[in-house]
Amino acid sequence: MVPLLMILILYGEFTLAFGLFLLAGITDLLDGYLARRLDQCTLLGLYLDPAADKVLTLSSYLVLGFSGHVPAWLSVIVVFKEVFMILGAAIILICGWEMKAEPSRWGKQTTFFQLVVVTAVLLVASMGWTAPWLVWLFGVTGLLTVFCGIHYILSRLRSLPADPLVPG
């Protein structure tokens, strides 16, 4: 759905983009619920589900930032935080150290705010509303994203082995 969502936003089809974004969110929630409820969690799913969420979030911020619906500074912050997290995880894995993949409370809250921003922007654009309160939402989301990125880096640094040559 992500490529279609990006195309719809770029062509100004915000009502369809809003509906597609909601559909993506609902199917993601339903997938997670059913996997837990039916005890169908797999190792592949543990990696693919967050990866799909990252692709949706990053793509949304890139295209909304490019089209001027989200401030460029917020798009840059969101994208670079995710890039640093991915690079950090890759370095940990390449070094053979143990990686703890469980999300933090701050990570969940940041993701929630980031998705609220995308939802709100698409809704406002689809309805043709003016929404001066979005500036505050952008600011809170930006600050929370920066804080979460710093928290992630510091917590991962604390979890690394004392001797960098010895895998955890």
Contact between 63 and 13 (Cβ < 8 Å): no
Q: pLDDT of 108-142, one tens digit each?
A: 899 999 999 999 999 999 999 999 999 999 999 99
**Looking at domain 2-159, does it have CATH number 3.40.50?**
no
Structure tokens given for 116: 């609220």
Question: 126-154 b/e with 16+ CB inside 10 Å = b?
Answer: beeeeeeebeebbeebbebbeebbeebee
At 141 the pLDDT is: 98
Q: pLDDT of 142-167, one tens digit each?
A: 999 999 999 988 887 777 776 666 55
Higher-confidence position of 24 and 91: 24
- For residue 168, pLDDT beyond 90: no
Report the half-sphere exposure of 45 (CA within 13 A, side-chain side): 11
At 57 the pLDDT is: 93
Query: DSSP character for 82?
Result: H
At 164 the pLDDT is: 60
Q: Any idea what the Cα angle at residue 76 is, between residues 108 and 151, rounded to 5°?
A: 40
Comparing C-alpha atoms, which of 135, 127, 146, 33 is closest to residue 84? 146
At 149 the pLDDT is: 92
Kindly report the average pLDDT of the chain as a whole number: 89
Secondary structure class of 160 (helix, strand, coil): coil
At 65 the pLDDT is: 97
> Distance between terminal CA atoms of the chain?
38
At 42 the pLDDT is: 82
- Mean pLDDT in residue range 44-48: 78
Neighbours of 114 (CB within 10 A): 24
Domains of the chain, by residue range, sit at: 2-159
